[in-house]
Amino acid sequence: MRTIRGRLTFAFAIAMGAALVLFAGIVLSSSRRSAERRMQARVLNAAELASRIIEQGGTGVFGGVIVSEGGQPNQPLLSQGIRRLLGVLPGYLIVSDSLRVLYESPPVERLSDRDRSRLARASIQAFSPDSAAGFLTMDSTRLFVRMQFERSDTRAPSLRVLAAENADALQLHRLDLFTPILVTLPLIFLLSVIVAWGLSGANLQPVDRLIDDLEAIQDGRSLHRRLPVESDENELDRIAEKINAMIARLEGSFAGLRRFTADASHELKTPLTVLRADLERAMGSPNVASDQLPALEEALAETARMADLVDSLLTLARADEGRFDIHRERVDLDAMVRDVADTASMLGEGAGVTVTLGEVVPLVVQGDPVRLRQLFLNIVTNAVKYTSRAGSVAISLEQRGTDAAFIVQDTGLGIAAADLPFIFERFWRADRARSRGGERGGFGLGLAIAQWIAHAHGGAINVASRLGRGTTFTITLPATRQQ
């Protein structure tokens, strides 16, 4: 759950789940309460109806209420007419006086003896001036019982009516609801989580777009671009506005920095040229003392290095400013590669490194010959520079698909895997101490310039290296056509 979409859906699922469980609980308990109320009403009805029948019987309507068995006034029975009428009523029904049961409905007769006598006792022993109600747990079942006292003072003894209904039905009622709830609620849950996932995805799409747009602006050269802002009411648009303002400020400072580097390099060029000319003149003068010569030579070498640095800085600063238009013309790469290989051979001779020219396929590109030569030279000089004596450098030009591939393979020092991602950064050198001064003295700008030239031609530089084993640089450039 690391994405906002995942977290939103998860939070929604939890809220939805809790709401559904709560809903199910409320539905179940309220339906149980209403079923209970309905049952109580039914039992009350039955009890009242029974007492009404008995009351009517008292007026002699249904053939009298009580008939004495064998003329025994203390052993009364309910008359047949009343019994028949009571038999029509649903549920459990007992009519008794304070001593014994006078009538039991068929469901009571079907109860076990124990349950039957328990119910009879409840009816006989119940004492209340009014009606009473409650649950009675039997062996086989649980009953909701309602007592009704017949208080007709015209008859003695007064009668009591017990009506009851099976309370287990309530449980069953709950089960009835349980099944649909168990099926529908998980379905609703699942559907709503799917909808939530879809909706959050749709609502987060502008965030994805914002991330894509930002990614496109990430590199320093795209700072002129801005994020699209549709209105200022939307939170994301407000964020985009703030980011745009920040990018504008960054663009300003970057531009200032580039301009400063370009201007400073440019300003340094002339004094350095003058200095170089002066030093050369001084060295050539017959009046110069021989002990001053080494110092003058060193000064000249350092001035040359500084002039190189200023040149590289100016190249990069102009490239950053977009002030370097790559001048495009037809370039025969094979001829250029042969030429570069010759230069490399000369460099290699001085350094004790063998330079070999392998396969050279005739290929043509559209590009700037000066810049392309600079690119190739940067790579081959590095190869010679970072290869020890008795090592070798192999140069070739191949065709790879529609691209021309310039490959320089050396058996030199190699580059550690951890260093590879940084080699194209400005002023980066694998081992500053190793390359400082002497023949390997560099500024760490050569590869940055090489990469810029390759990119400006729609190409790329790839490097594969193993420390101590050697390095292979491959420069690919889109070839216009084969010869």
443 binds ligand ADP (CB under 6 A): yes
413 binds ligand ADP (CB under 6 A): yes
Rg, C-alpha atoms of the chain = 52
Encoded one letter per residue, x for contact with ligand ADP by CB under 6 A and - for no contact, window 420-439 reads ---x----xxx----x----
Distance CA 393, CA 430 (A): 20
Cβ-based neighbours of 483, under 8 Å, separated by 6 or more: 332, 362, 363, 364
Are the CB atoms for 107 and 91 separated by under 8 Å? Answer: yes
What kind and span of H or E run contains 147? strand 142-149
- Cα–Cα distances in angstroms (integers) from residue 123 to residues 21, 89, 137, 144, 345, in the given order: 42, 18, 14, 13, 124
In whole angstroms, the minimum distance from the beta carbon of 235 to ligand ADP comes to 44
144 binds ligand ADP (CB under 6 A): no
Q: Which of 53, 337, 383, 394 binds ligand ADP (CB under 6 A)?
A: 383
Cβ-based neighbours of 89, under 8 Å, separated by 6 or more: 46, 49, 50, 105, 163
In whole angstroms, the minimum distance from the beta carbon of 331 to ligand ADP comes to 22
Distance CA 16, CA 29 (A): 20
Cβ-based neighbours of 357, under 8 Å, separated by 6 or more: 337, 338, 341, 394, 395, 396
103 binds ligand ADP (CB under 6 A): no
Q: Which of 76, 279, 410, 461 binds ligand ADP (CB under 6 A)?
A: 410
Tally of CB atoms within 10 A around 159? 26
Whose Cβ is closer to ligand ADP: residue 35's or residue 447's? 447
With b for 16 or more beta-carbon neighbours within 10 A and e for fewer, the 211-234 pattern comes to: eeeeeebeeeeebeebbeeeeeee
Q: Which of 62, 92, 144, 386 binds ligand ADP (CB under 6 A)?
A: 386
Whose Cβ is closer to ligand ADP: residue 164's or residue 448's? 448
In whole angstroms, the minimum distance from the beta carbon of 412 to ligand ADP comes to 5
Q: Which of 111, 415, 475, 479 binds ligand ADP (CB under 6 A)?
A: 415
Q: Which of 119, 397, 447, 454 binds ligand ADP (CB under 6 A)?
A: 447
Q: Which of 96, 471, 474, 476 binds ligand ADP (CB under 6 A)?
A: 471
Q: Taking the chain, what is the end-to-end CA distance rounded to the nearest angstrom?
A: 57
In whole angstroms, the minimum distance from the beta carbon of 413 to ligand ADP comes to 5
382 binds ligand ADP (CB under 6 A): yes
In the bound state, the residue with its beta carbon closest to ligand ADP is 442
54 binds ligand ADP (CB under 6 A): no
Distance CA 102, CA 161 (A): 10
- Cα–Cα distances in angstroms (integers) from residue 36 to residues 85, 131, 162, 428, in the given order: 26, 18, 18, 85
Q: Which of 76, 91, 391, 442 binds ligand ADP (CB under 6 A)?
A: 442
Question: Judging by DSSP bridges, how do beta strands 142-149 and 403-410 pair with one another?
Answer: unpaired
Whose Cβ is closer to ligand ADP: residue 104's or residue 410's? 410
For residue 117, give both structure tokens: 């006598």
Whose Cβ is closer to ligand ADP: residue 215's or residue 439's? 439
474 binds ligand ADP (CB under 6 A): no
Contacts of ligand ADP in 349-378 (CB under 6 A): 378
Are the CB atoms for 142 and 115 separated by under 8 Å? Answer: no
In whole angstroms, the minimum distance from the beta carbon of 305 to ligand ADP comes to 10
Q: Which of 57, 76, 446, 459 binds ligand ADP (CB under 6 A)?
A: 446
347 binds ligand ADP (CB under 6 A): no
In whole angstroms, the minimum distance from the beta carbon of 423 to ligand ADP comes to 4
Distance CA 100, CA 92 (A): 17
Interface residues toward ligand ADP, by CB under 6 A: 378, 382-383, 386, 410, 412-415, 423, 428-430, 435, 442-448, 471
